């Protein structure tokens, strides 16, 4: 256990250092995210810190696989690199949403063999071709959900850490952990993602000195989505739903409301529940901390779901519902006050 903690701290410290160097580069090149009417920040902030997170994940993942790794386990590295490159161009030049979405569909489709080597979710109920289509759509949706939710200081960091650690702990405790694509606990993919993101979070905590940018949020959404699909492929489907439960709920409910209002769902907005909480007066740090605490509960429930999936899902829904209620309560009070005025 001591070795595991040591490696986590080394990777986190490396991420802190690399993020600091990336911050200097972004400032020098004036690659900044300027506030607008949809933003939750007030000062221009360097955007592109995900270069550090993604680089560490790719480098350490490749190093652990080495020259003798299974061929399919290199696949996420290539796709992650391509997504990072495309997203970096989007951070600088604002690529077309259609181009980005089509590229994500193609790249997640290319990644299916990596997931299917662990099993095929729902194989007993649906034909494989339909499962493949559903996974491509769900994976691409998750990538974009993760990107859309990256709207306040610290939020994506605490979410990535929660999912990464949850995946690692469930993989270790599962009787099927021998099928883990990484043979050692020390550098399991979930732990690697959590450590790399924890180092970045030091710089991204409120008030943030640097933002992930698409170059960070898109690859993170891809890697985390892939790990959740691996859980589902192993039969731990409830855990795959519970771990990202808050992000899925906030993004899903917001998307549904925007569709009902016939808004352009691909355009930036400030309608997420976490954004409502900030607008109503809660600080970025308080909201992100509440999400982190909720994720701690979700990790415990995800572990329980291996033995009692439906009870764990019900408890997770209640926990997430409490968080959403807290986020929306002060906003609702202000809205009622404005009506009375």
Q: Which of 112, 103, 105, 117 is nearest to 132 (CA)?
A: 112
pTM of the model: 0.92
Note the pLDDT of residue 1.
56
Q: Give the residue numbers of the binding site for Mg(2+).
A: 147, 214
Note the pLDDT of residue 5.
78
C-alpha 308/C-alpha 301 separation (Å) is 9
Give pLDDT tens digits for 207-244: 999 999 999 999 999 999 999 999 999 999 999 999 99
Average pLDDT over residues 18-30: 97
Give pLDDT tens digits for 282-320: 999 999 999 999 999 999 999 999 999 999 999 999 999
Tokens of 65: 């696989």
C-alpha 111/C-alpha 230 separation (Å) is 12
DSSP 8-state code for residue 208? P
Question: What does the mean pLDDT of the chain come to?
Answer: 90
pLDDT band at 83 (very low <50, low <70, confident <90, very high): very high
- The mean-pLDDT minimum among 6-20, 130-144, 178-192, 289-303 falls in 178-192
Average pLDDT over residues 88-99: 91
Give the residues across from 46 on adjacent strands. Answer: 32
C-alpha 20/C-alpha 272 separation (Å) is 30
Looking up tokens 């989505």 gives 225
Total number of domains constituting the chain: 1
pLDDT band at 185 (very low <50, low <70, confident <90, very high): very low
Q: Is the pLDDT of residue 7 over 60?
A: yes
Note the pLDDT of residue 35.
85
Higher pLDDT residue, 65 or 202?
A: 202
Average pLDDT over residues 55-71: 89
Q: Give the residue numbers of the binding site.
A: 147, 214
Note the pLDDT of residue 329.
87
C-beta of residue 86 within 8 angstroms of C-beta of residue 222: no
């Amino acid at each position: 256990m001591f070795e595991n903690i040591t490696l986590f701290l080394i990777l986190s410290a490396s991420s802190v250092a690399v993020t600091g160097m990336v911050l200097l580069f972004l400032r020098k090149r004036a690659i900044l995210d300027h506030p607008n009417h949809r933003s939750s920040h007030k000062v221009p902030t360097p955007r592109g810190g995900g270069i550090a997170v993604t680089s560490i994940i790719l480098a350490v993942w490749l190093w652990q696989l080495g020259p003798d790794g299974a061929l399919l386990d290199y696949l996420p590295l290539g796709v992650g690199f391509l997504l990072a490159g495309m997203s970096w161009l989007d951070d600088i030049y604002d690529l077309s949403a259609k181009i980005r979405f089509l590229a994500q569909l193609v790249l997640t489709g290319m990644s299916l063999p990596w997931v299917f080597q662990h099993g095929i979710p729902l194989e007993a109920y649906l034909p494989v071709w339909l499962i493949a289509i559903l996974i491509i759509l769900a994976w691409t949706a998750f990538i974009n959900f993760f990107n859309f939710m990256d709207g306040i200081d610290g939020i994506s960091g605490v979410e990535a850490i929660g999912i990464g650690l949850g995946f690692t702990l469930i993989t270790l405790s599962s009787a099927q952990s021998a099928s883990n694509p990484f043979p050692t606990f020390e550098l399991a993919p979930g732990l690697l993602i959590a450590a790399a993101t924890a180092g970045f979070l030091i710089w991204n905590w409120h008030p943030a000195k640097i933002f992930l940018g698409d170059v960070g949020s898109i690859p993170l959404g891809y890697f985390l989505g892939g790990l959740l699909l691996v859980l589902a492929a192993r039969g731990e489907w409830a855990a795959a739903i519970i771990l990202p439960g808050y992000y899925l709920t906030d993004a899903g409910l917001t998307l549904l409301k925007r569709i009902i209002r016939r808004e352009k769902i691909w355009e930036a907005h400030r309608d997420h529940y976490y954004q409502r909480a900030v607008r109503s007066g809660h600080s970025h740090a308080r909201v992100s901390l509440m999400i982190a605490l909720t994720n701690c509960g979700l990790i415990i429930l995800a572990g329980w779901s291996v033995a009692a999936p439906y009870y764990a899902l019900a408890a997770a829904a209640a926990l997430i519902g409490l968080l959403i209620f807290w986020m929306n309560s002060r906003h609702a009070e202000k809205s009622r006050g404005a009506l009375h005025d």
